[in-house]
Amino acid sequence: MKPYRLGILAEYLAILIYKLKFYSIICHRKKNFVGEIDIIACRGKQLVFIEVKARNNNIMENIVPKNQQNRIRRSAELFLSHNDKYNGCEVRFDLVFIRPYKLPVIIENAW
């Protein structure tokens, strides 16, 4: 499977997982001039920005480099500045690591 298609499939799998955990999906593939956030989900007063990584190997070391974390954080700040209704929410950054034929790994508060 091509890497782009694997990534899209992994994002939809992550959406399904978070829906099963009773999160409402606000945005999928939210782009702005700073960067892109794969998934934005909300449950109660928790707002979660989710980065999805699909790999063919088991290596998780440095899977989201510091510069990408900063780009996602700035994109989240921009999203919050344009959406006042989420200002009182607790913000969290999750990482979903998906490999073929293995269970997904969800790391809450990844950074």
At residue 57, the pLDDT reads 77
Distances (CA, A) of 17 to 3, 45, 67, 80, 96: 21, 19, 27, 24, 10
Fold for domain 3-107? Trna Endonuclease; Chain: A, domain 1 (3.40.1350)
**pLDDT digit string, tens, across residues 85-104:** 888 889 999 999 988 888 88
The pLDDT of residue 1 is above 70 = no
- Beta strands 24-31 and 36-43, pairing class: antiparallel
Distances (CA, A) of 38 to 56, 75: 19, 11
